[in-house]
Amino acid sequence: MVSFWEESLALLRTRLNEHSITTWITPMVCEEVTDTRVVFTVPNNFFISWIKDNYLKIISDSICQITGKELFIDIRSREDHSIPDDSFSDLSNQTPTQNDIAEHIKKLNINPKYTFESFVVGSCNQFAHAAARSVSEQLGKSYNPLFIYGGVGLGKTHLMSAVGYAVATSDRSKNIVFVTSEEFTNEMINALRFDQMVNFRKKYRDLDLLMIDDIQFLSGKERTQEEFFHTFNSIYESSKQIILTSDRFPGDIPDIEQRLRSRFSWGLIADIGKPDLETKVAILKRKSFEDNFILPDDVAYFLAGQVESNIRELVGYLIRVIAMSTLQGIPVSVNLSKIALREILHRNTRTITVDDIISNVAKSFNVKPSDIKSKKKHKLYSLPRQVGMYLSRNLTELSYPEIGSAFGGKDHSTVVYAAKKIEKKIELDNSFRNLIEAIRKDITEI
Ligand code: ADP
Ligand code: MG
């Protein structure tokens, strides 16, 4: 009975940081295990709610992996059972209450949902995740600064917040600041205006951990860059930790002083890439789990397939689907998801084809689509044909030769000529321009 828990514990050690293990997991004593459930006792009720809120899923997953069974996890308080437990009495006295911790996190402006536990690791973010974990365990010692970079909605803010959360919950005495670069700028401007620079510098230079989100927005702000340069040096020189996020590589941020740019690369640059399908599915499952919602596999795969990379967008889709299911009392399904996302999907997936264009143009010029594709040289047909070629060039991704062949096997130079000719006509003739705009509108707003 104990060995399965020891093995699960070993697995958990690879998934949680040392602090979480010693504070929350090792105090769990496995008292009993049956075919369907496993009973743990913990020092007090506070432990129960904290573990349930933060670690239950990962514990039950680990146990399931070791035992091959989905066991119900029953957690009880040793206080209730009057089990004498000297070894934990100190810890429970010292352990701050859940409210204290929540309050502390709130004051720091850190989103309490953005933790390491809720961060799904996939090949796209494995490196950045490992670096962030390492930084959270040894502030100022492993990578300084840690520069997290990646596209919009890929989890930069989440990962950086997770470091702040882990540090703040493990050591209240650590001085932490988490700001966006805009907040940093505004605070500095206000400090200048109200003659508070001494306080501003004290706040920003006397820190254990400084986290600045979206540092690319310092671009072009010379005075802020200057101040940040000194802040950076002061924190760096006292071996305290700096973490920055950016949607661009340091070398690609425009209008940033060279001395700052080079400092961004002093520590470690960790990038977050685009998630693959499995990671997207795992994130959807994790988010649903946080909302006490079981997401069917087919729906998870369907949703994951609708978004190329932006996880914020993906989570937005999930919320929409869950909301519709809850509001209408209908279970979540692929069909329901299609309805919930109808407008968005329509907008994203509708690609305009040459045939869409030809049929619209034909209607407007009162000819047949087959006339447009024909070789007829009369102006009656050649003008709409040229308009169609021009619009195809503008509204599709096709090359000149591809457009030519879609218009009944025309040469690519014919398409080039047509596009140029129509462009010129639009420039010179207002009523013709209005006509083309009306056709374009018809095509794009189906
Ligand atoms: P960024 O700062 O890169 O624009 P965020 O950190 O704000 O992106 O992430 C956008 C959303 O996606 C958030 O809801 C975040 O929790 C979620 N998210 C991103 N990556 C992950 C991940 N690996 N695991 C779980 N949720 C993620
Ligand atoms: Mg962000």
Per-residue pLDDT of the chain (446 residues; tens, 9 = 90+): 457 888 899 999 988 887 778 878 888 988 888 888 888 988 877 778 888 888 898 999 999 888 888 888 999 887 765 444 444 444 444 566 778 888 899 999 999 999 999 999 999 999 999 999 999 999 999 899 999 999 999 999 999 999 999 999 999 899 999 999 999 999 999 999 999 999 999 999 999 999 999 999 999 999 999 999 999 999 999 999 999 999 999 999 999 999 999 999 999 999 999 999 999 999 999 999 888 888 999 999 999 998 888 999 999 999 999 989 988 888 999 999 999 998 777 766 567 889 889 999 999 999 999 999 999 999 999 999 999 999 999 988 889 999 999 999 999 999 999 999 999 999 999 999 999 989 998 887 65
Q: Half-sphere exposure of residue 317, counting CA atoms within 13 Å on the CB side? A: 32
CATH 3.20.20.70 is held by the domain 354-444:
no
**Nearest ligand 1 atom, CA 247:** 3
For residue 195, CA distances in Å to 97, 207, 224 come to 38, 21, 16
Nearest to 46 by CA among 77, 4, 68, 81: 77
Q: Whose CA is nearest to atom 25 of ligand 1?
A: 119
CB of residue 107 inside a 6 A radius of ligand 1: no
The domain 126-272: what is its CATH number?
A: 3.40.50.300
CB of residue 275 inside a 6 A radius of ligand 1: no
Query: Which ligand does the CA of 161 lie closest to?
Result: 1
Same fold, 277-347 and 354-444: no
- Position 290 scores a pLDDT of 85
- Position 350 scores a pLDDT of 61
- Position 87 scores a pLDDT of 41
What Rg value do the Cα atoms of the chain yield, rounded?
Answer: 30
- Provide the β-strand partners of residue 40: 30, 75
Pick the CATH number of 277-347 from 3.90.1580.10, 3.40.50.10420, 3.40.190.170, 1.10.8.60: 1.10.8.60
CB of residue 283 inside a 6 A radius of ligand 1: yes
The residue length of the chain stands at 446
- Cα 281 to Cα 278: distance, rounded to the nearest angstrom: 5
Select from 158, 289, 295 the residue to mutate for testing ligand 1; criterion: most ligand atoms less than 8 Å from CB: 158
- Ligand 2 mean position to 105 CA, how many Å? 18
- Provide the β-strand partners of residue 30: 40
**Nearest ligand 1 atom, CA 286:** 25
- Position 287 scores a pLDDT of 93
- Ligand 2 mean position to 246 CA, how many Å? 8
318 burial (CB, 10 Å; 0-12 / 13-18 / 19+) is buried
CB of residue 158 inside a 6 A radius of ligand 1: yes
Q: Whose CA is nearest to atom 5 of ligand 1?
A: 155
- Position 141 scores a pLDDT of 92
Select from 110, 180, 312, 320 the residue to mutate for testing ligand 1; criterion: most ligand atoms less than 8 Å from CB: 312
Q: Whose CA is nearest to atom 9 of ligand 1?
A: 155
- Provide the β-strand partners of residue 29: 41
**Nearest ligand 1 atom, CA 129:** 23
Q: Whose CA is nearest to atom 16 of ligand 1?
A: 158
Q: Whose CA is nearest to atom 21 of ligand 1?
A: 155
CB of residue 157 inside a 6 A radius of ligand 1: yes
CB of residue 153 inside a 6 A radius of ligand 1: yes
- Position 343 scores a pLDDT of 77
* Cβ-proximal residues to 177 (8 Å cutoff; 6+ apart), any chain: 108, 203, 204, 207, 209, 210, 211
- Position 95 scores a pLDDT of 60
CB of residue 380 inside a 6 A radius of ligand 1: no
- Position 80 scores a pLDDT of 65
Q: What angle do CA 180, 143, 154 make, to 5 degrees?
A: 45
For the chain, domain boundaries = 2-95, 126-272, 277-347, 354-444
**Nearest ligand 1 atom, CA 118:** 25
Cis peptide before 275 (omega within 30 of 0): no
Q: How far is CA 34 from the centre of its chain?
A: 40
**Nearest ligand 1 atom, CA 152:** 4
Query: Which ligand does the CA of 316 lie closest to?
Result: 1
Query: Which ligand does the CA of 149 lie closest to?
Result: 1
Query: Which ligand does the CA of 311 lie closest to?
Result: 1
- Ligand 2 mean position to 149 CA, how many Å? 10
CATH architecture for segment(s) 2-95: 2-Layer Sandwich (3.30)
- Ligand 2 mean position to 213 CA, how many Å? 7
**Nearest ligand 1 atom, CA 151:** 3
